[in-house]
Amino acid sequence: MLSELDQIEQSALQALKSVQDETSLEGWRIAHLGRSAPLMLLFDQLGKLSKEERPVIGRRANEVKRALEAAFSARSESLRQSALQRSLQSERLDVTLPGRVLPVGRLHPTSSNMRSIIRVFADMGFQVYRSPEAETDEFNFSLLNMPPHHPARDMWATFYTTMPNVSLRPHTSPGQIHVMRQYAPEPIRAILPGMCYRYEQISARKETQFNQIEVLAVGVDITMGNLKATISDLARRLFGQNMRTRFRAAYFPFTEPSAEYDFECLLCHGKGCAVCAWTGWLEIGGCGMVHPVVLQNGGYDPEKYTGFAAGLGTERIMMLKHHIDDIRYFWVNDMRFLEQF
Q: How many residues of this chain bind ligand FA5 (CB under 6 A)?
A: 24
Question: Per CB under 6 A, which of residues 165..194 are in contact with ligand FA5?
Answer: 171, 173
Amino acid (one-letter) located at 107: L
Judged by CB under 6 A, the stretch of 29-37, 51-59, 96-104, 250-258 that binds ligand FA5 is 250-258
Closest CA to 28 of 63, 75, 84, 77: 75
Q: How far is the CB of 215 from ligand FA5 (least distance, A)?
A: 7
HSE toward the beta carbon, residue 136, CA cutoff 13 A = 7
Question: Could you count the other beta carbons within 10 Å of the beta carbon of residue 287?
Answer: 25
| 3-state secondary structure (DSSP) of residue 168 | strand
Among 131, 230, 255, 306, binds ligand FA5 (CB under 6 A): 255
Task: Select from 28, 139, 252, 329 the one that contacts ligand FA5 (CB under 6 A).
Answer: 252
Beta carbon nearer to ligand FA5, 65 or 316: 316
Query: Between residues 60 and 206, which has the closer beta carbon with respect to ligand FA5?
Result: 206
- Spatial distance between the Cα atoms of 320 and 99, rounded to a whole number of angstroms: 37
CB of 91 to ligand FA5, least distance (A): 57
Select 28 or 261, whichever has its Cβ closest to ligand FA5.
261
Which part of the chain contacts ligand FA5 (CB under 6 A), choosing from 25-33, 100-108, 202-210, 331-339? 202-210
Q: Give the nearer residue to ligand FA5 in terms of CB position, either 79 or 152.
A: 152
Residue least distant from ligand FA5 (Cβ) = 313
Q: Using the minimum distance from each CB to ligand FA5, give the nearer residue, 191 or 310.
A: 310
Please compute, for residue 124, the number of CA atoms within 13 A of its CA located in the half-sphere on the CB side: 26
By three-state DSSP, how is residue 196 classified? strand
As a whole number of angstroms, the distance between CA 44 and CA 51 comes to 15
Whole-number Å distance between alpha carbons of 104 and 126 = 32
Question: Cβ-count burial of 119 within 10 angstroms (0-12 exposed, 13-18 middle, 19+ buried)?
Answer: exposed
- C-alpha 206/C-alpha 210 separation (Å) is 8
Q: CA-CA distance, 227 to 259, in Å (whole number)?
A: 10
Choosing from 123, 133, 186, 200, the residue that interacts with ligand FA5 (CB under 6 A) is 200
What DSSP assignment string belongs to 62-85?
A: HHHHHHHHHHHHHHHHHHHHHHHH
d(CA 44, CA 38): 10
Binding part of the chain for ligand FA5, among 28-36, 109-117, 221-229, 312-320 by CB under 6 A, reads 312-320
Judged by beta carbon, residue 24 or residue 232, the one nearer ligand FA5 is 232
Q: Looking at this protein, which amino acid is placed at residue 173?
A: S
35 phi/psi in degrees, rounded to 5: -55, -40
**Binding letters toward ligand FA5, positions 256-295, x by CB under 6 A:** --x------------------------xxxxxx-------
The minimum distance between CB 289 and ligand FA5, in angstroms, equals: 9
| Contacts (CB under 6 A) with ligand FA5, residues 203-222 | 206-207, 210, 212
Q: Tell the burial category of 314 from Cβ atoms under 10 Å away from its Cβ (0-12, 13-18, 19+).
A: buried
Residue 104 CB, shortest distance to ligand FA5, in Å, is 29
For ligand FA5, the closer CB: 77 or 200: 200
Q: How far is the CB of 121 from ligand FA5 (least distance, A)?
A: 14
Cα 189 from chain centre: 33
Of 75 and 291, which has the nearer Cβ to ligand FA5? 291
The residues of the shown chain that bind ligand FA5, judged by CB under 6 A, are: 171, 173, 198, 200, 206-207, 210, 212, 252, 255, 258, 283-288, 309-311, 313, 315-316, 327
